[in-house]
Structure 1
């Protein structure tokens, strides 16, 4: 599995399945491996930020710069683990954990008001003023029992988003 041009063995497939908590079937893992090899143009065994940006849907994503920090240099096993948050079989907690990592830009285990504002700015662009974003976020935090000065942890995110019906599933095409 170190060289992207090598073939996956049954052992490799099972190892990757274990690494991603069996959120993907063996067929899905084989399909993901084929896609990984397409992205890994130089067969280095990992995907660079530039290679990720060659995927139009990724490049157009308003959060692509934040996501690049999470994906740059992933090997196949970690690539599948990254994508596991988008599996229909992933738990809500797993999905919230992924969302939390997107917001936690400095990776300190806490999300500040400013980090949330930055994500909202990325998502809404020029369509909403900074003042409007701040008003909405202050209201949302207040309703959830937090303030502008709160540092939200993963547990706080779970508390706030746990019953929100998060839908971020991507179907893996299998041949």
Structure 2
């Protein structure tokens, strides 16, 4: 008795519960999963500011089974890393999995989906953003003309104000009509 390993302080666990959609048990499971990615970098016990300072490189994160088949894996890691590099700290990883959890509300998922599709970070999804997304989704197997037509059609259908790009509100309107959005914007731990 008393040999139980304490990964986080009581206050850290309370804070993580408050800022995620996870229970204590799930938070510890997320840490275990994070540590499995690079046990040589991630300590068993996260002390002081290690949950923020210990970072797993993007190339290792992309190999996670939960991400490796996703064509947006690099972009997902970039969006959730504090410095946009794609290298993830435990807290970044916890945020990522929390947003992709079943418990996360639709509006949070839509917000992050928009961030993922906004490749150039200009707060709009334009033709260039759509071009990158289409290339990723089709593994660059479509002819240029077909990709251009798809991007044009998306903007034509969703661009309510006619400015040639999608605002967050326009994107949200389209996504809320997609019946499979919640089931596909999901990672199970």
Q: What TM-score do you get using the length of structure 2 for normalisation?
A: 0.75
Q: What TM-score do you get using the length of structure 1 for normalisation?
A: 0.81
Q: Any idea what SS the aligned residue of 1:62 has?
A: coil
- Report the Cα offset of residue 50 of structure 1: 2.5
Residue by residue over 1:85-139, the C-alpha shift from the partner in whole angstroms, topping out at 9 and shown as x without a partner, is 2111112211111111111112221221111111111110243222112222322
How many residue pairs end up in the alignment? 166
* Relative contact order, higher structure (CA 8 A, sep 6+): 1
- Report the Cα offset of residue 32 of structure 1: 0.1
**Structure 1 CA distance for aligned equivalents of residues 30 and 151 of structure 2:** 37
Displaced runs of 4+ in structure 1, greater than 3 A?
Answer: 145-149
Work out whether residues 123 and 168 of structure 2, in 8 Å CA contact, stay in contact via their aligned partners in 1.
Answer: yes
**1:34 aligns to what?**
32
1:163 pairs, out of 154, 177, 187, with 177
1:51 pairs, out of 49, 54, 60, with 60
Q: For residues 127-146 of structure 1, what are the structure 2 equivalents within 5 Å?
A: 127-146=141-160
- Report the Cα offset of residue 6 of structure 1: 7.0
**2:131 aligns to what?**
117
Work out whether residues 159 and 170 of structure 2, in 8 Å CA contact, stay in contact via their aligned partners in 1.
Answer: no
**Structure 2 CA distance for aligned equivalents of residues 77 and 68 of structure 1:** 12
Q: Any idea what SS the aligned residue of 1:65 has?
A: helix
Task: State the Cα RMSD in Å.
Answer: 2.4
Work out whether residues 110 and 154 of structure 1, in 8 Å CA contact, stay in contact via their aligned partners in 2.
Answer: yes
